[in-house]
Amino acid sequence: MAFGSNDAWTRPSAQVGGAESQDDGLRRYMVGVYNKMAGAVALTGGVAFAVANVPALTQIAVFSPLKWVFMLAPLLLVFFLAARIDRMEASTASALFWTYAGLMGASLATVFLAYTGESISRTFFISAGAFAALGIYGNTTKRDLSGFGSFLIMGLVGILIAGLVNIFLQSAAVHFVISAAGVLVFAGLTAYDTQKIKEGYYGFGGTKGTIMGALTLYLDFVNLFLFMLRFLGDRR
């Protein structure tokens, strides 16, 4: 996706200083991606905790008809952001990104209601450690991971279809397979997307590039955490 030329950072090809300047720009770019991603995860977690622990907010976001707004709005917003970001101002894209993270927090409040706080914390740190290791691999490996992209996307589609089918089957065995497949797919996507974001800097870069990179890794981390929680979480 070609991002607008009004981004805060210019493309590396327009920078002066050769390879050293490009390496420095890439480091700043990746730091920007991870800072936004970490901030979005923190915002989501804070909103989810608040909604789950304030009865009035719980009633609105979890038990009232408005729950469908909090469930569907993030999905619609992420598709809108991905499709229109090249035509947005960077400030608008940033506002939508943080709005999305907040809405996701409201929709994920049920996690705090369904699982114990201790198991959520334990799973979060395990997921964060795995995510960091996979991100380092994707950022440093010389191996081209692009060949895994189609396979991982096919796996993701398979998980979605199986999940829909299992709504009707209610099979514990299918649930287990979906959970295991989800962990593997999003672990692979974390490494793949990290490399893709790094390589994308040389094509686009810019503030909106960091937003889309952060959004991609945010989705990888949140889904990795949720699938791992199925294995490691203790229900209330």
Range from 15-29, 53-67, 123-137, 182-196 carrying the lowest mean pLDDT: 15-29
Average pLDDT estimate for 52-76: 92
Quickly state the pLDDT bin for 2 (edges 50, 70, 90). Answer: very low
Each residue of 92-113: pLDDT tens digit?
999 999 999 999 999 999 999 9
Each residue of 132-141: pLDDT tens digit?
999 999 999 9
Quickly state the pLDDT bin for 19 (edges 50, 70, 90). Answer: low
Secondary structure (3-state) at 211? helix
Please list, residue by residue across 42-61, b when 16 or more beta carbons sit within 10 angstroms of its beta carbon and e when fewer do: ebbbebbbbbbeeeeebebb
Please list, residue by residue across 100-133, b when 16 or more beta carbons sit within 10 angstroms of its beta carbon and e when fewer do: bbbbbbbbbbbbbeebeeeebebbbebbeebbee
How do the domains of the chain map onto residue ranges?
16-232
Each residue of 181-195: pLDDT tens digit?
999 999 999 999 999
